[in-house]
A and B are shown apart, each in its own frame.
Chain A
Amino acid sequence: MARKDRRVPRDAARRDFMRSTAGIAGGLLAAGLAPRAAQAAPQPLGTWPLGVTGDSVFVGVTCPLTGPYSAAGEDHKKGYELVIEHINSGELAKHWHHLRGKGVLGKQIRYQVGDTESVPNPGVQAQTRFITQDKAIMITGSVNSATAIAIEKLAQREKVVNMVGASGSNDTTGKDCQRYGFRSQPSAYMAAKALAPVVVKEIGKNKKVAYLVPDYTYGESVFDSTSQFTKQDGGWQIATKQVVPLGTKDFSSYLLNIANSGADVFVNVAFGADCVLSTKQAKQFGILEKMKLVVPNISPFQAKELGAELMQGVYGTFDFYWGLEGRFPLAKFFVAEFEKRYHYKPEWCAHIAYMQTMLWAATVEKAKSFYPVDVIKTLEKTSFSDTTLGTVHYDAATHQLVRPVPVVVGNKPSAMKHPDDYYRIAGLVPGAETMPPAGFFGCKLGSYT
């Protein structure tokens, strides 16, 4: 119905225009000037131009507010609340030169948050509603790779730009990549490539490793990449790989296999509550006394839930850690503003929400247009300086953000300067050093239109 309504006045006018200019366009094509002519009168695409006709634009946000990822989802949501407020009020523009004034191209951002329930279907349903009913000009948010990939596919189908939320799977910017999807979190490959040299140096070469792997795209990605780089850099061998269903509560039978595997290192790939529970139970089985613990992608709130006593000496990577505030002025601004409002240091899911939204807003400002093709092409060729992670850019071939990867190690309780000082940044590996070779994951971005 909505599609029908919107077509009446605009399309009729455009049809008249097209009819009268068809002959001229034919002549321009012959003269090689067609691209300029096409730019002058782009076809309606996705929710454009209907979504940008008023004095505000709508952004569709999805977060897991219920289900096993709800804690990270709440953090994610807070990141969106804060960044949209900062963009609308012009506060972010005062601290970051890529933005101008209040809103985006002078338009205020409206948004709604849909609950993904930690699984793909409700997320896709909510974003479909935002696109069809609210004419969302951009969609964003997830804390699960399966959900992120499903929303990316929806974005490609509906031709609406998708700034992907939290998603670590290689597939997100690999075999499932989309022209309309952009991901800022380091892929499992990038995280593993950054982490491997550090853990090999700290723990030693030629170790036997036990893996606990959640049974979905993210788990397999992290396992593949981590085992590949630790073998390559330090000759680490797989002692056992325990594949566990998502949402497992009692890990005893898997942990007994790990305890009996003769491994020196325990790499826990599980995420969220699953990682917290399995690590806690590994401690109860005495595994952490015998093996060094490595968590390739540390979950939000993990240290708060497990305590510093258990997390000390644990190696892992993050999308963002609040300790980066000492290195990047915008990170300092973000951490301070977040803490002022929510009374805790932001976790990295909040950071992804903040960064992805601000990069999109800056791109629209630079392109001077909300037209999806302009936005995508600008995102593909822009380098953003002075962000919360320094200078970053999206790889044009995969839409993966090329950004530094923080490698952290858990602080000893006695070394903590305040209650949130759980980690020390062991390294900030430049993004370009962690990127896979061109075409490595078989990404084929779809069409622009």
Chain B
Amino acid sequence: MPSLGLFLSQLFNGLALGALLALVASGLTIIFGTLGLVNFAHGALFAFGAYAGFVTYGLTHSFVLALAAGALVTGLLGLLMEWSLIRRYYARPPEDQILVTFGIGIVIVESLRMAFGGLTQNVPQPAWGRGILNLHYFFYPVYRLEVLGIAALALFGLYLLIYWTRLGLIVRAGIEDPLMVRMLGIRVPRVMTLVFGIGAVAAGFAGVVYAPIVSAAPDMGSSVQVQSFVVVVIGGLGSFPGAVVGGIIAGEILSLTSMFDPAYSDVALYALMALMLFVLPRGLLGTEGRG
């Protein structure tokens, strides 16, 4: 049996891991919920954000600026993607959408590899995030603790944006009834571009936050993307609170299962997803499908 210290540390780690997964998944779910598009380039945007942060940190030595620039530049790339290619695919079958976003993802990842090489690029932890904290039962890196706070704040910011602003109102109305939103005279294409940009900002921001832990690498987004898809399925497609709840559940499963047999932690996550699809196909907090 695992010791109390190990159990508590894994429980806590699951929360930190989950908050980050929730942040990545929230971008994915906002895009899906509003645009009905499964973005397979989300992991690539995550990596792009990390590299944008890496470059900014190299120029300014400020982690806060790196965070801001990483999120902003990735958001701009998202806007460009939507405006140039993605919008032409909304009316096409889902497999076309998957192919185009998957293709864009490959182009982004391999462009990063061409520009920066295949080696991992070190993004140092900010001065305020160095060291290890003694939490009585266990030790935990200060930065990971702060990541929990940063992710929670970012998720709260997204929550405010979606539930307390006019843009959010339109986005939510778009999820419920896109036809009615159009009939009310709202310029839907512009809103759609903006929504895709917001999703990209969330991915880029998470990329910079994660970079000091995992280093910037071209394919750093691949496993995160797969896990965040699982989060979205568990939480409910298109549901923002679902992404948060799903993220934490996924983080806890990964962490707690590894305590007994680490080889099964990924398996347990996918098993839960399969079970969820079987019992509750819309996920925990998902509503009616988009039709």
Contacts and interface: CB of A to CB of B under 8 A. Distances in A.
B43 to A, nearest CB: 10
Contact of A285 (B141, B222, B223, B259): B141
Nearest to B20: A250
B87 interface: no
Contacts of B254: 253
B107 to A, nearest CB: 12
B118 A70 contact: yes
Interface stretch (A43-51, A239-247, A408-416): A239-247
Interface of B: 2-3, 5-6, 9-10, 13-14, 16-17, 110, 113, 117-120, 122, 125, 132, 138-141, 143-144, 210, 213-215, 217-220, 222-224, 254-255, 258-259, 262-263, 265-266
A301 B254 CA distance: 30
Contacts of A273: 120, 217
B95 to A, nearest CB: 22
A259 B118 contact: no
Interface string A35-73: 000000000000000000000000000000011111101
Contact of A305 (B120, B139, B210, B220): B120
A301 B266 contact: no
Nearest to B224: A249
B223 A73 contact: no
Given A249-B223, A253-B13, A253-B265, A260 B132 contact: no
Given A66-B113, A260-B3, A245 B266 contact: yes
Interface residues of A, number: 36
A139 B110 CA distance: 26
Contacts of A337: none
Interface string A153-165: 0000000000000
Contact of A66 (B110, B141, B217): B110
A276 interface: yes
Given A247-B223, A256-B9, A276-B215, A284 B119 contact: no
Contacts of B3: 260
Nearest to B121: A305
B223 A248 contact: yes
Contacts of A253: 10, 13-14, 17, 254-255, 258-259, 262, 265
Given A253-B255, A254-B262, A260-B138, A285 B132 contact: yes
15 contacts: A70-B218, A73-B118, A242-B262, A249-B210, A250-B17, A253-B10, A253-B14, A253-B262, A254-B258, A260-B9, A281-B213, A284-B132, A284-B141, A285-B140, A286-B141
A260 B5 CA distance: 8
B6 A250 contact: no
Given A284-B141, A285-B139, 6 more contacts: A247-B223, A249-B210, A252-B17, A256-B10, A260-B138, A277-B214
Contacts, number: 102
Given A242-B262, A249-B214, A260-B5, A71 B219 contact: no
A144 to B, nearest CB: 14
Interface string A280-315: 110011100000000000000100110100000000
B119 A301 contact: yes
Interface string A65-105: 01111110110000000000000000000000000000000
B218 to A, nearest CB: 8
Contacts of B117: 71, 74
B9 A286 contact: no
A433 interface: no
B17 A277 contact: no
A215 B263 contact: yes
B219 A247 contact: yes
Q: Which among A68, A71, A245, A256 has the highest number of chain B CB atoms within 10 Å?
A: A256
B220 A249 contact: yes
B138 A256 contact: yes
A232 interface: no
A257 interface: yes
A79 to B, nearest CB: 16
A257 B256 CA distance: 10
Contact of B6 (A66, A257, A301): A257
B119 A304 contact: yes
A307 B5 CA distance: 32
A215 B264 CA distance: 11
B258 A250 contact: no
Contacts of B219: 67-68, 247
A250 B138 contact: no
Given A66-B110, A243-B262, A247-B222, A74 B17 contact: no
